[in-house]
Amino acid sequence: MTLHEFHAGAPGVRFTDWMRDQAEPHWTRMTTHRFARELGADSLDDAVAGRYLVQDYAFVGAFVSLLGTAISLAPTMPSKRAFAQFAAAVTSDENDFFLRSFAALGIPEEAWSSPRLHPVTRDFLEVLQGAARSDSYPRVLAVLVAAEWSYLTWAKACPAARPGRFWLSEWIELHAIPPFEAFVTWLREETDRTGASAGPDTRRMMGETFRRMMALEEAFFDAAYEEPA
């Protein structure tokens, strides 16, 4: 369905809603994934959680660099401030969470500081680094809104009673707390504004980028269940 057709069939629907629609079935598969359900139910195996966290931490550096690109390309000071504040949270609270989790799970430093990358992690890195090199604010937004909006979605769907293991409960909380939800709300609005003023080729690129991200997010959850070769 083209963007024009989508709006014709659903007046008033946001550009980010169209992006999400273009990303099916990956969006639904990821946001309702077994990983997210087991995480919320406190039934996720520690080995699965550990593999996931090690691979996720492997591209935190590239993700923060992408936020730096977003700060550079953002057209207004309020937009730059929103990205800068989020980058500060990722490099402080979230980074601290990873280090405490690795220690609690008994994962040695060499395993998380120089991990053997899963193929889907390498693909993620290529998307993040490619967006950072592109000098395209719309492309950067498409990557970021896919990542953060999908995480807010599954985290908000988790039961109110949190898991007993902090590496599960805090991972949910980091993606369900009001400041994170406020950032995602703003990020969607920023993406809506950018998409509304973009040409058809840019809108198409944003939709394709969002869909690619969601396919990778789904595959990344799948990969956590794979035993190392």
CATH code: domain of residue 140:
1.20.910.10
3 inside domain: no
pLDDT digits (tens, 9 = 90+) for 131-171: 999 999 999 999 999 999 999 999 999 999 999 999 999 99
Number of domains in the chain: 1
pLDDT less than 70: residues of the chain: 1-11, 229
Cα separation, 176 vs 184, in Å, equals 10
CA dihedral sign of residues 163, 169, 175, 179: positive
147 inside domain: yes
pTM for the complete prediction?
0.94
Domain span at residue 135 reads 16-223
47 inside domain: yes
Residue 227 DSSP label: P
**What's the pLDDT score for residue 13?**
80
User: Within 10 Å of residue 138's Cβ, how many Cβ atoms?
Assistant: 20
4 inside domain: no
10 inside domain: no
229 inside domain: no
pLDDT, mean over the chain: 95
**200-223 and 46-57 helices, crossing angle to 10°:** 140
CA dihedral sign of residues 212, 217, 218, 223: positive
**What's the pLDDT score for residue 6?**
56
195 inside domain: yes
For residue 147, give the nearest of 158, 131, 134, 135 by alpha carbon: 131
N-term to C-term CA, the chain? 40
1 inside domain: no
**What's the pLDDT score for residue 11?**
64
